[in-house]
Homo-oligomer: A and B are copies of this chain.
């Protein structure tokens, strides 16, 4: 399997810790290693891995080259600008097809939490089997542990395929549901979380692209010609319409399989998730870095640069960096983008 790690995200949800030039995938939010390095290390532990590629924004490439271990510098693929996941994956597929047009290709987000390597490896092995034998597009589906409204869902047919008890044909993709719907999803047992991990034969993927996203397929072929001649493909890329792989391809294709995966998973989508998985004292408080909490409950406090003291407050996320501090009610962490939007217009230096 040739792996592609998508590491181009902007990670505004973790402002002020995450910045334009230091997005979530490059942060050590889980400890001593960056999310990207953790993802690389996870893949390097798989026997099936032939090579690993990283696809990212040009402004992050130097930083990634300088800071990661286990991926060759020439394996870092540059997107000239962000175009969502479909063009990103197509560009990576082009690179892999040039090495082996019959290769198995796995696509992995750079910044997700996965706990349980055996279960992860089992899911990958099943995916490779399906990609090789059934010639379908494969995605991993995580067994939901609660009715999340922050994740998309994959509905499967309820009955596994004959060869693998953990693999199902996909019936439909569902966007992030409201809570009532999420609860029904959980109850039905035919719904899994969509974790954005994909696996396929690169040739099968290219054919699906030709069928369902012909314009993108055409652009990718023209980019191939540029690359063969050593020309810039920036202009072709610039004219590509942004599209997600879910919406552009997966939802429109028949031959999709989901591998029911039992590892613990999170997209680490907000400070609340970090609080959830962090050690807490008996008041439910987490302190990372330099600070104290007096007579408060259920707060997440992270500080770098200054001492932060909380007194008589509950349910807050407080994050401090050298030049910016965030104080947000835990119920509102999803709205940090409102601050980022304001800063775009007024204080770009803080992004």
A336 at the interface (CB under 8 A from B): yes
Interface hub of A295, A308, A325, A327 (most chain B Cβ within 10 A): A327
Interface string of A236-263 (1 = CB under 8 A from B): 0000000000000000000000000000
CB neighbours (8 Å) of A45 from chain B are none
CB neighbours (8 Å) of A294 from chain B are 335, 338-339, 342
Task: Assess whether A335 is in contact with B312, with CB atoms less than 8 Å apart.
Answer: yes
Spot the interface stretch: A5-13, A63-71, A213-221, A316-324.
Answer: A316-324
Task: Assess whether A324 is in contact with B309, with CB atoms less than 8 Å apart.
Answer: yes
A312-B325 contact in complex given A339-B294, A347-B307, C-beta closer than 8 Å = no
Q: How far is the CA of A191 from the CA of B327 in the complex (A)?
A: 42
Task: Assess whether B332 is in contact with A306, with CB atoms less than 8 Å apart.
Answer: no
Q: How far is the CA of A309 from the CA of B336 in the complex (A)?
A: 9
A48 at the interface (CB under 8 A from B): no
Q: Tell which of B16, B312, B328 touches A329, judged by Cβ atoms closer than 8 Å.
A: B312
Task: Assess whether A338 is in contact with B311, with CB atoms less than 8 Å apart.
Answer: yes
- Which residue in chain B gives the minimum CB-CB distance to A294? B338
A350 at the interface (CB under 8 A from B): yes
CB neighbours (8 Å) of A322 from chain B are 306
A331 at the interface (CB under 8 A from B): yes
Q: Tell which of B16, B295, B329, B350 touches A313, judged by Cβ atoms closer than 8 Å.
A: B329
Q: How far is the CA of A327 from the CA of B313 in the complex (A)?
A: 8
The distance from the CB of A271 to the nearest CB of chain B, in whole angstroms, is: 11
Task: Assess whether A307 is in contact with B350, with CB atoms less than 8 Å apart.
Answer: yes
- Which residue in chain B gives the minimum CB-CB distance to A301? B327
Task: Assess whether A332 is in contact with B292, with CB atoms less than 8 Å apart.
Answer: no
Task: Assess whether B328 is in contact with A307, with CB atoms less than 8 Å apart.
Answer: no
- Which residue in chain B gives the minimum CB-CB distance to A15? B309
Q: How far is the CA of A320 from the CA of B324 in the complex (A)?
A: 10
A186 at the interface (CB under 8 A from B): no
A310 at the interface (CB under 8 A from B): yes
Task: Assess whether B311 is in contact with A335, with CB atoms less than 8 Å apart.
Answer: yes
The distance from the CB of A207 to the nearest CB of chain B, in whole angstroms, is: 46
CB neighbours (8 Å) of A309 from chain B are 16, 324-328, 339
Q: How far is the CA of A335 from the CA of B312 in the complex (A)?
A: 9
- Which residue in chain B gives the minimum CB-CB distance to A327? B310
The distance from the CB of A347 to the nearest CB of chain B, in whole angstroms, is: 7
Task: Assess whether B327 is in contact with A311, with CB atoms less than 8 Å apart.
Answer: yes
Q: How far is the CA of A47 from the CA of B16 in the complex (A)?
A: 55
Which of chain A's residues 66-98 have a Cβ closer than 8 Å to chain B?
Answer: none
CB neighbours (8 Å) of A313 from chain B are 316, 327-329
Q: How far is the CA of A329 from the CA of B350 in the complex (A)?
A: 27
Task: Assess whether A329 is in contact with B311, with CB atoms less than 8 Å apart.
Answer: yes
Q: How far is the CA of A326 from the CA of B16 in the complex (A)?
A: 17
CB neighbours (8 Å) of A336 from chain B are 311
Q: Tell which of B318, B332, B338 touches A327, judged by Cβ atoms closer than 8 Å.
A: B318
Task: Assess whether B335 is in contact with A308, with CB atoms less than 8 Å apart.
Answer: no
Residues of A within 8 A of B (CB): 16, 292, 294-295, 303, 306-313, 316, 318, 320-329, 331-332, 335-336, 338-339, 342, 347, 350
Given contacts A306-B306, A306-B322, A313-B327, 10 further A-B pairs with CB under 8 A are A16-B309, A294-B342, A306-B320, A307-B323, A309-B339, A311-B336, A312-B328, A312-B332, A313-B316, A316-B327
